[in-house]
Amino acid sequence: MLSVYGTELSSRLMLGTAQYPSPAILADAFAKSNAGIATVSLRRESGQDRAGQDFWSLIQSLGVQILPNTAGCHTVKEAVTTAHMAREVFGTKWIKLEVIGEEDTLQPDVFGLVEAARILSEDGFQVFPYTTEDLVVADRLLNAGCEVLMPWGAPIGSGLGLNNTFGLRAMRAHFPDVPLVIDAGLGLPSQAAQAMEMGFDAVLLNTAVAKAGSPADMAHAFALALEAGRAAYLADPMEPRDMAAPSSPVIGKAFLS
């Protein structure tokens, strides 16, 4: 069972709550996914006229851990302010920290990310940083107080899968005891299975499910893929090799003269 910040999660799938065609479809997707965490943007809520309360009630009814995020923030000040507002609205110390540095790829601003992570950790937040696979940045984030790392697989919403498998494998090897979550860029269940086969602890996705023709069926497919990938990792799979190796024994083979 996966444990993050002392909380045990029943599932290794984390699912976003944006872009679904309707609240009913969102609820159905979560039911089929068995996701353990729902990410929620503060922008879905409002302090005036109880706007957003129906959405918040729906999220609460899902019965999962809530992970507010700072989606859309481009500066340290904006991210820290949003995090404080999220803690008040959602009543949790958890925050998925995003500090976006580049518009076309939505790549994290890793310098601002580390600074914001340190500020929030010192203020009692439990930070889930959306980062790159850079090992130096990862080490700085851990030193800033983070206990989990969330490297991207590919740009948000792209569906490209795991763009840098070398870098991700290096991160897994370099931080064997740190919970690692692939966050963003997955488009197919096979890509999620690949991440789990590499030894990652969980995946977080949104668009691949929300924009599917049948979000509930896609959510179920991802849930199955995570189970298969995790089981394969624990089974200690064979190493790939360049040359063929016969699967049937050749000793005792009959020879014709």
State mean pLDDT over 72-90: 94
State mean pLDDT over 31-48: 78
Annotated binding site for 1-deoxy-D-xylulose 5-phosphate: 157, 184-185, 206-207
Alpha helix ranges (H) inside 34-158:
53-61, 76-90, 110-122, 135-143
Query: End-to-end alpha-carbon separation of the chain, Å?
Result: 60
Structure tokens at 11: 């599932």
Structure tokens at 109: 């601003």
pLDDT at 131: 97
pLDDT at 218: 97
Q: Is the dihedral of CA 165, 227, 231, 67 positive or negative?
A: positive
Q: What is the pLDDT of residues 229-243, one digit of tens each?
A: 999 999 999 888 888
pLDDT at 227: 96
Task: List all residues 6 or more positions away from 211 whose beta carbon is below 8 Å from its beta carbon.
Answer: 19
Residue 107, CA distances (Å) to 57, 76, 167, 221 in order: 32, 15, 16, 27
Q: What is the pTM of this model?
A: 0.90
d(CA 201, CA 196): 7
Which 3 state secondary structure label does DSSP give 172? helix
Q: What is the pLDDT of residues 150-194, one digit of tens each?
A: 999 999 999 999 999 999 999 999 999 999 999 999 999 999 999
Annotated binding site: 157, 184-185, 206-207
| Closest by Cα among 203, 221, 212 to 152 | 203
Q: What is the pLDDT of residues 242-254, one digit of tens each?
A: 888 888 776 766 6
Give the chain's mean pLDDT: 92
d(CA 192, CA 182): 8
Pairing of strands 2-4, 7-9: antiparallel
Among 32, 96, 211, 253, the active-site one is 96
pLDDT at 48: 47
Instruction: Look at residue 59 and tell me whether its pLDDT is greater than 90.
Output: no
Q: Which residue has the tokens 């990862």?
A: 138
Structure tokens at 67: 């992970």
Q: What is the pLDDT of residues 136-153, one digit of tens each?
A: 999 999 999 999 999 999
Amino acid identity of residue 17, one-letter, is: T
pLDDT at 49: 45
Is 96 noted as a catalytic residue in this protein?
yes
Instruction: Look at residue 46 and tell me whether its pLDDT is greater than 60.
Output: no
State mean pLDDT over 122-148: 98
